[in-house]
Structure 1
Amino acid sequence: MPRKPIRSLLTLDPRAVLLGIVLTVNVLGGLSWCAVTALDYIDTLGRAVQDTRATAQLLEGHARSMVEPHLALLDRVAGRLQGRGMGALAERALDEALSAPPGTLAIVGSDGSGAFGPTILFDGSPGGPPAGTLDRVDDGSGLLAGAGSVDGVPALVLGRRVRGPDGRYDGAVLVALPASALSAVLNALDGPQHHAGLYRPDGGLIAGSGAAALGPLRAAEGAATQVVESWPAGGREHVLAWRRVGPLPMLAAVAVPRDAVLAPWRSRLERGVLVTGASLLALLGLAGLGWGSLRREELAMRALAEANARLEQRVEERTSDLRSLNQKLVAALAEKERAHQAKARFLSAANHDLRQPFQALRLFHHLLNERLKDPRDKGIADKMGDALDSGEKLLHALLEVATLDAGVVRPNIGVVSVAGVLEEVMAEFRPAAAAKGLELRVHACGCAVRSDPVLLTRMLHDLVGNAVSYTKEGGILIGCRRRGQWLRIEVWDTGAGIAAEHLDSIFEDFVQLGNPERDRSQGLGLGLAKVRRKAALLGHAVEVRSRPGRGSVFAVMMPVAAPETVADAAPAPAGPETAPPAERLILVVEDDPVQRSGVQLLLEGWGHRVVTAADGFSALERVRGAQRAPDVVVTDFRLPGPMTGVQVVTRVGEAVGHPVPGIILTGDTAPERIREAVATGCRLLHKPFSPELLCDALAAVEPAPATRGAQRAATAAA
């Protein structure tokens, strides 16, 4: 049974079905449009009512804030005279009246004669404020409010009647507020769509550019706002909202013409009628074209199916090509990553292996230099020290890069005085610039920025050092530019400049332009690489501009600190002088016999007792078989066998029953090794280190608990 209606529908004329659909759509669309138009009408009036109410509240609040001080003055003066009459003016109210601002307060008698202050008049009372005029501006509350003037200047006049001992009207106290004080907000609220003003309860205009008369306005109790959607004024219907201004017989009113409110709605109504008619005509035209388009649609569908098949074939071919290219790209990236890792491993291993002989050379050079007496021999030793310094600069640069890559550097962000940083950098490079005949200048900068003072100083040190190295003549300028909340510290030079194609590559490791011979006197090619890493760590931006043959400018951009005084760090209070460390028993664990011998000779020369071991197991055997536990363990990080230097320090503490302080010596700059060593709590020295650094580390190391007890016992016995 249900299939017959479906078959009957399928046999209908498609044109009739299309026409029925068009008519149904038009009817539904017309009904929807009528409903939307009615809702739009209601919403338009509702928004006008809300806007008018809000504007009236704004006007009332401003007017109340302006008149409240004057009303308080009026109450104080009138209160002193009320019930006593004008005869009590000199005795009770004169001092209060004299405290009023000039030109704002007047006291008049019942006949309009002035008793005190300027001439303040209500409109309509040229000879003074007679009782009839005061009755007109009094709503029974005892307060007076109306338009008037003070010495001929338009003003808003407030007043309060004064009665004598017999209860009769004896005069009035008047306060004037210049009309210009309200003109700013009234002008802002007034316009082609709003008419704002202050009115008396009888509808008379006091201030503003609204209608001259609105008719009697009933003031609601409290702070309620009255709104009427249709109020006749000036021959036009208005949306009117009014609100009483505090206790005064004065209303803040805002009126909007209804025709101006409904003008956008009428415009939308006209456009809607046009759109609806155009839609009906368009639907009828589409119905006429529908039948003819059925055939064209069938042909188009066939062509589309053929084009889709061809497109799928082309997509498959392109996908295959992209897959092949993607595989090649992945292989190339993997190869690049392997090359990068191999380079890192090579640098780390080479760095570690080079530090070992450098450390031994540094120790023996120190011992040799102390024993040489002949000046010629000392000169040769000094040249040997210069050669060691040159090699160590490269190793220390590699260590700094590896430390930044390892992520163990934690910036200490604070307020930094730019002037102090620039002065420190200038003091370091003035001699070098003067030796080359360069003019080194700095523009004073009083700003403070948020940065790490140490890392920022090192960044500027590398930038100024590069400028001095690559500038042959002319000068170098360091200056600051403020850009809103950011500060740019710029380093200008008059060097050879950098070609545009090299501006990105100069921040890579070991890149030096104009130095194909790799002359170490011209640097190592790591300065700008370190600048880039430190800037990324601090969140600063580094920029470079250059013109070949003219010079370059490098800039670091950082946030400006809040205005505050950058206090100099107070010097730490001087504590009691500590005696030099007593003789210690030091366990030295080093697999390299040359290194072990050098450290032993150095420590014994300082008056310490030294026990040596080549690996972790030997060190533990020495500790277990000794009568005295070592005070300090000085060990290499990499040792033969399964234990590292960190593990040796831990195992020695377990063997003697209490923690033993340790100093870790390492030439390994791999990031993961640096993080592991820093996490132990032991002091860390990177090879090659100077004997002075080792001496400072020993002085800073606290003795083991057993040693402290022995020292206290010895002190007590003494």
Structure 2
Amino acid sequence: MACTSTRPSPGLPLDLGQPRQAPDNAGPRERALLEENARLHRIVTALMERVESAGMAGDAPYAAFEHAVLLAEQVRERTETLQHTLAELHAAKAEAEAANLSKTRFLAAVSHDLLQPLNAARLFTSALEEHRLPAPSTRLVGNIDRSLKDVEALLGTLVDISRLDAGVLEPDITAFPVARLLDVLAEEYRQMVASPGLELHYVGSSAVVASDLALLARVVRNFLTNALRYTRRGKILLGCRRRPEGIEVLVADSGPGIPEAQRETIFQEFQRLGDHHDAEDRGLGLGLAIVDRIAGMLAHPLRLTTVPGRGALFSILVPHGRLSPVVHQPLAVSGPGQASVLEQARIWVIDNDPGICSGMAALLEGWGCRTLTATSLGDLENKAAGERADALLVDYHLAEAGIDGLAAAARLRERQPGLPVVVITANHDTAIKGLARQLGYGCLLKPLKPLRLRMLLLDLLGSRSG
């Protein structure tokens, strides 16, 4: 029979003993079994020697086995601890993301409520600027308007950075003539150049690009604001260059330039260049940080070229676009001949804020328009009494249940097909802009920029009369 052994104690060498010798009177079967036992004994002995030689020095195989079991248990416990920690991290991340989104929604709601009176105030100051006032009053109106622009810029910057951080800002990519954007910006910033030794030079372009017009405008505005902030004398250039991969929209200035050490840091939050800003400059140092994030989201490469003491050039490369067969012509800068398009034009305004209605009426009437304002669709229908309009300006958020600006415009268009419509809203949701565009409406964001509204009306009314 084969030899037997008891279970060894942990940590002691495993003793297999010696195989039995066949007795002289053993039969053939017993001898065969004993020979097989001896052969197996030799095999086991060789295997144990190999295990011992490959195992831990000075330990027996069973001790090595126990050590391996202990390590496996430790690995299992640590894996469970790691999984528990990861679950807690995921829960904390989800909670932080929810809090960030809640903060963004709160800022969006607060900004909407703040933008309403701010929009009305901007309309009133713009209307006052259209009147001939004594020099002291003109200066006061100018100071009020600059202060309101500061509030608008700071509020817009905070909302933008919050929406970018939360990842809720989605681009609305469309094809449009780049002149539709740059013509307006050139006219807007030409009026802001107050230094006698500073000149804004604009080179127009007929190129068509594909981008989000509002976000691209944000980028170029920050370029222009930055150039205006640091350039006291000389020139600021706004224009385009045609590249094989797209249109490079650029802003160059003859300012102090940017030192090598600051060319990366200026794109970080709350970073400002040197000491070239004055007491009236209330920026947060977020402009170029927002530019960098928007350009990354749009996948539009940025470029900075600068020579200290000679100026800087900021540019963004925008892909080529292709217009659909039916499209408005680029907005034309208003002139003496075009201003007559607004004379006696009948403009309807719907906004649930009476202050905005009053401010819009003052602004439009200063341009020579005849206005009819209402706080709801029903109010307008009662006041219109069968009259017709040349254009409709309608707020997206109305107080009437189940009726927004798009629905109100659709109902009025049933009565007057082809009525030009401009939707005005403080909601930056891309879905609203996309739907307005599909319906053939213009869309402007609050706080309303009067120059942008004027040029859009000139475009709509001029195209209709043409």
**Is the TM-score greater than 0.5?**
yes
Aligned pair 1:684/2:437, yes or no?
Answer: no
Per-residue CA shift, 1:615-642, capped at 9, x if unaligned? 244345556xx22344422111111133
Q: Does 1:296 align with 2:49?
A: yes
Note if contact 1:349-1:668 (Cα within 8 Å) is conserved in structure 2: no
Residues 702, 14 of structure 1: alpha-carbon distance in 2 compared, 3 angstrom cutoff: farther
Give matches, 1:419-498, under 5 Å: 462=222, 493=257
Q: Is 2:382 aligned against 1:618?
A: no
The answer (yes or no) to whether the contact 1:620–1:651 under 8 Å persists in 2 is: no
In the TM superposition, residue 521 of structure 1 has moved relative to its aligned partner by 0.7
In the alignment, the residues of structure 2 paired with residue 292 and residue 521 of structure 1 have an alpha-carbon distance, to the nearest angstrom, of: 89
- DSSP-derived class of the 1:591 partner: coil
Match of 1:526 in 2: 286
Amino acid at match of 1:319: T
**SS of match in other structure, 1:405:** coil
Counterpart check, 1:663 vs 2:428: no
Equivalent residues of 1:467, 1:495 under 8 A apart: no
Deviation by residue 1:637-691 (Cα, 9 ceiling, x = unmatched): 111133221121112223x163432111122335555555555431112222343
Higher RCO structure, 1 or 2 (CA under 8 Å, sep 6+):
2
**Aligned to 2:281, what secondary structure does the other structure show?**
helix
In structure 2, distance between residues paired with 1:367 and 1:409:
34
| Structure 2 residue aligned with 1:313 | 73
The answer on whether the counterparts of 1:588 and 1:612 sit within 8 Å (CA) in structure 2 is yes
1:591 paired to 2:352: yes
CA contact (8 A) 2:122 2:148 kept: yes
The match for 1:352 is 112
SS of 2:419's equivalent?
A: coil
The question of 1:580 aligning with 2:333 is answered no
Cα distance between partner residues in 2 of 1:412 and 1:10: 96
Q: Structure 1 residues 365, 337: closer, same or farther in 2, change over 3 A?
A: same
Q: What displacement does 1:387 show? A: 2.1
Instruction: Give SS of 2:357's match.
Output: helix
**Residue of structure 1 in register with 2:410 after alignment:** 650
Structure 2 Cα separation of the partners of residues 591 and 296 of structure 1: 93
Query: Which structure's residues are more often strand, by fraction?
Result: 1
Which residue of 358, 363, 369 maps to 1:602?
363
- Go from structure 1 to structure 2 and tell me whether the alpha carbon gap of 1:523 and 1:345 turns closer, same or farther (over 3 Å shift): same
Aligned to 1:342: 102
Write the distance in 2 (CA, Å) between the matches of 1:590 and 1:457.
25
In structure 1, what is the Cα distance between the partners aligned to 2:77 and 2:278? 50
What is the alpha-carbon distance in structure 1 between the residues aligned to residue 176 and residue 281 of structure 2? 33
Correspondence 1:117-196 to 2 at 5 A: none
Q: Residues 21-42 of structure 1: CA distance to partner in whole angstroms, max 9, x if unpaired?
A: xxxxxxxxxxxxxxxxxxxxxx
Q: What is the match of residue 460 of structure 2?
A: 701
8 Å CA contact 2:266, 2:272 repeated in 1? no
Pair 692,412 (structure 1): closer, same or farther in 2 beyond 3 Å: closer
CA contact (8 A) 1:586 1:610 kept: yes
Cα distance in 1 for partners of 2:440, 2:33 equals 88
Partner secondary structure for residue 373 of structure 1: coil
CA distance in 1 between counterparts of 2:260 and 2:358 reads: 50
User: How far off its partner does 1:341 sit?
Assistant: 1.3
8 Å CA contact 2:347–2:390 kept in 1: the answer is yes
Does residue 361 (structure 1) correspond to residue 92 (structure 2)? The answer is no
1:406 maps to which of 146, 170, 176: 170
Distance 1:632 1:581 in 2: 11
Distance 1:685 1:542, change over 3 A: closer
Match of 1:639 among 388, 394, 398: 398
In structure 2, the CA distance between the partners of 1:325 and 1:391, relative to structure 1 (3 Å rule), is same
Contact 1:392 1:688 in 2 (8 A): yes
Structure 1 window deviating more from structure 2 (392-401 vs 381-390): it is 392-401
Do the aligned partners of 2:150 and 2:282 also contact (CA within 8 Å) in 1? no
What does the per-residue CA deviation read over 1:589-625, in whole Å, with 9 as the maximum and x for residues that have no partner?
11111111122233344444433321244345556xx
Query: Do 1:351 and 1:668's aligned partners in 2 also have CA atoms closer than 8 Å?
Result: no
| Structure 2: 5+ residue stretches without partners | 1-31, 56-60, 179-185, 199-208, 233-244, 305-311, 321-329, 332-336
Task: Indicate how the Cα distance of structure 1 residues 558 and 581 shifts in structure 2: closer, same or farther if over 3 A, else same.
Answer: closer
CA distance in 1, matches of 2:432, 2:278: 30
SS of 1:408 mapped into structure 2: coil
- Residue 12 of structure 1, CA deviation: 7.9
Task: Tell me the equivalent position of 1:156.
Answer: none
Query: Which digits, 9 at most, give the CA deviation of each residue in 1:169-222, with x for residues without a partner?
Result: xxxxxxxxxxxxxxxxxxxxxxxxxxxxxxxxxxxxxxxxxxxxxxxxxxxxxx
Partner of 2:201: none
Equivalent position amino acid for 1:681 in 2 = G
User: In structure 2, do the counterparts of structure 1 residues 314 and 633 end up closer, same or farther at CA, with 3 Å as the change threshold?
Assistant: same
The residue type equivalent to 1:386 in the other structure is R
Check conservation: 2:344, 2:370, Cα contact below 8 A: yes
Residue 422 of structure 2 contacts residue 444 of structure 2 at CA under 8 Å; is this kept in 1? yes
- What's the Cα RMSD here? 5.7
Output the amino acid matched with 1:408. D
Distance 1:651 1:365, change over 3 A: same
Residue 342 of structure 2 contacts residue 369 of structure 2 at CA under 8 Å; is this kept in 1? Answer: no
- Deviation sequence 1:436-455 (CA, Å, 0-9, x none): 9xxxxxxxxxxxxx998x99
Compared with structure 1, are the counterparts of its residues 497 and 354 closer, same or farther at alpha carbon in structure 2 (3 Å cutoff)? farther
1:326 matched to 2:86? The reply is yes
Partner of 1:376: 136
Q: Matched residue of 1:664: which SS?
A: strand
User: In structure 2, how many angstroms separate the alpha carbons of the residues matched to 1:556 and 1:290?
Assistant: 80
1:314 Cα deviation after fit: 1.1
**Cα gap change, 1:590/1:693 in structure 2, threshold over 3 Å: closer, same or farther?**
same
Whether the 8 Å contact between 1:665 and 1:685 is mirrored in structure 2 is yes
1:536 aligns with 2:279: no
Give the letter aligned to residue 320 of structure 1: E
Kept in 1: contact 2:341–2:462 (CA 8 A): no
CA distance in 1, matches of 2:132, 2:260: 46
Contact 2:348–2:393 at 8 Å: present in 1 too?
yes
> What do the CA deviations read for 1:569-596 (whole angstroms, capped 9, x no partner)?
xx99xxxx88625644433111111111
TM-score, length basis structure 2: 0.58
Which residue identity lines up with residue 170 of structure 2 in the other structure? A
Q: Secondary structure at the match of 2:398?
A: coil
**How many Å separate the matches in 1 of 2:261 and 2:51?**
69
Structure 1 position 542, deviation (Å): 6.1
SS at match of 2:423: strand
Please report how far the alpha carbon of residue 435 of structure 1 lies from its aligned counterpart in structure 2 after TM superposition: 8.3
Conserved 8 A contact 1:406-1:672: no
- Corresponding letter in the other structure for 1:535: A
Deviation at 1:334, TM superposition (A): 2.0
Asked whether the 8 Å contact 1:585–1:631 carries over to 2, the reply is: yes
% same residue: 27
Equivalent pairs counted in the alignment come to 365
Q: Which amino acid aligns with 2:151?
A: G
Shift of 1:457: 11
AA aligned to 2:405 is G
**Pair 1:338–1:583, CA change in 2 (3 A):** same
How far off is 1:461 after superposition? 7.9
Q: Report if aligned partners of 1:351, 1:398 keep a CA contact under 8 Å in 2.
A: no
